[in-house]
Amino acid sequence: MTIEKGLKYTKEHEWVLLEENVATIGITDFAQESLGDITYVQLPKEGESVQKNDSFGVVESVKAVSDLYAPVSGRVVEVNQPLLEAPELINEDPYQEGWMLKIELANDADVEDLMSADEYKDYVEENS
């Protein structure tokens, strides 16, 4: 299991890369390993708003269907279009090619309760 330094993490196994006021979001290596082969991803459209902790989409695998939860509130400014045609990118490269959304933050404070890489590692170890 790979946990990238420099990212923030949620208890729902999403990762967040913060650049200025834009958050790039995906699911962690742990999440994609747990799900198995990912076969479908449903994501919001560019321009839509998402609310922190609300479901913004779905990821389906050979094992399960799982909701995706927004780690921050804001407006979707970009969707990883190749992912919609090739959801297996999440399995192959969850932190680079497998990113899902870019969200323009509505509230900078949303990131304050996200975990660091070390905190996420401890969380996964304690809850697996």
The pLDDT confidence band at residue 82, using thresholds 50, 70 and 90, is very high
Q: What angle do CA 32, 36, 37 make, to 5 degrees?
A: 100
Q: Give residue limits of the domains in the chain.
A: 8-105
pLDDT recorded at residue 28: 97
pLDDT reported for residue 33: 95
pLDDT confidence band for 1 (50 / 70 / 90): confident
CATH 3.40.50.150 applies to domain 8-105: no
Would the pLDDT of 128 be above 90? no
Q: Report, as an integer, the average pLDDT of 43-67.
A: 96
- Residue 7 is predicted with a pLDDT of 97
- Per-residue b or e along 93-125, where b marks 16 or more CB atoms closer than 10 Å to that residue's CB: ebbeebbbbbbebbeeebeeebbeeeebeebbe
